[in-house]
Amino acid sequence: MIDTPMQTIHIVERHFGREYMVMRKIIEIDEEKCNGCGQCVTSCDEGALAIVDGKAKVVNEVFCDGLGACIGDCPEDALRIIERDVPEFDEEAVRKHLVDRSAEECHSSHGDAEPCGCPSASPMLLRRPGPQASSIPSAEAVGMDSELVNWPVQWKLVQPASPFFKNADLLIAADCVPFALADFHQSFLKGKPLVIGCPKLDEQEAFQDKLSRLFKDATPRSVTVVIMEVPCCSGLIRMVQEAISKSGREVPLESHVIGIDGKR
């Protein structure tokens, strides 16, 4: 007789748009420790977490099942399970959320409603780094294979602990460079894992913190920075220099400037 009224209350509260609060387990994030690496986001099958302004956030408490699958993937020990009054975990809401999120990612990528899945947050090794990645001479521009060795490449999505960064010759490029430089793959990308970003439009502090973590964890052999000739782009070199200093590592740095006409 006790369970039935409680269930009735739960249904009524949901129907009128109010959440029924219960004492249960849920994830808690220490923002001071969080470095925005995103590993917890990719390990959460319910899509309860997202990176917002460089920090992991719970996007909706009803999506978190409180089981803590994300905790083991946090390199900063920024996650823990606590108990407090929160809305009940809602499997139906999770299913709808995942479908809606997939559709939104697909629409953003393709501009229509075609079915797809977005792998942007899942690290992938596309080919082994190193000179052997391609045997095509640089002069053979027509039909040339891609030299991209890793995915994702956008700084917000890359994970510093990804194995392809370890002891590698790292390439950091302003995101306009590959569009301006016709032989970007052969001149700079070949054999190097890539990170891209915009020092003008992106959040510089979070960008620099991510790079610092990458230098500290991956200990790359060297780093090459390629920027555009526009004044705002020079900030990327400064950010990389400060990130290296903050990491406490000694990493040889080489930089190149590309003209907006595509010439070096």
pLDDT by residue (tens digit) across 74-127?
A: 889 999 999 999 999 988 888 888 877 766 655 554 444 444 444 445 566 666
What total number of domains does the chain contain?
2
**Lookup: tokens for 120:** 């942007």
Asked whether residue 115 is assigned to any structural domain, the reply reads no
Give the predicted TM-score (pTM) of the model. 0.53
Q: How is the beta sheet containing 194-197 ordered, strand by strand? A: 194-197, 169-174, 222-228, 253-258
Contacts of 186 (CB under 8 A, 6+ apart): 138, 144, 147
Residue 151 pairs in a beta bridge with: 124
Would strands 150-151 and 222-228 be described as parallel, antiparallel, or unpaired? unpaired
- Of 193, 90, 83, the residue nearest 147 (C-alpha): 193
Q: Is the pLDDT of residue 1 over 50?
A: no
Kindly state whether residues 99 and 151 are assigned to the same domain.
Answer: no
Kindly state whether residues 135 and 176 are assigned to the same domain.
Answer: yes
pLDDT at 7: 39
Lowest-pLDDT range of 37-41, 51-55, 117-121: 117-121
Does residue 1 or residue 103 have the better pLDDT? 103
Residue 45: pLDDT band (50, 70, 90) is: confident
Amino acid at 128: R
Asked whether residue 263 is assigned to any structural domain, the reply reads no
Q: Is the pLDDT of residue 231 over 50?
A: yes
Does residue 45 or residue 256 have the better pLDDT? 256
**Integer Cα distance of 253 and 1 in angstroms:** 71
**Integer Cα distance of 183 and 174 in angstroms:** 15
State the CATH number of the domain containing residue 199: 3.40.50
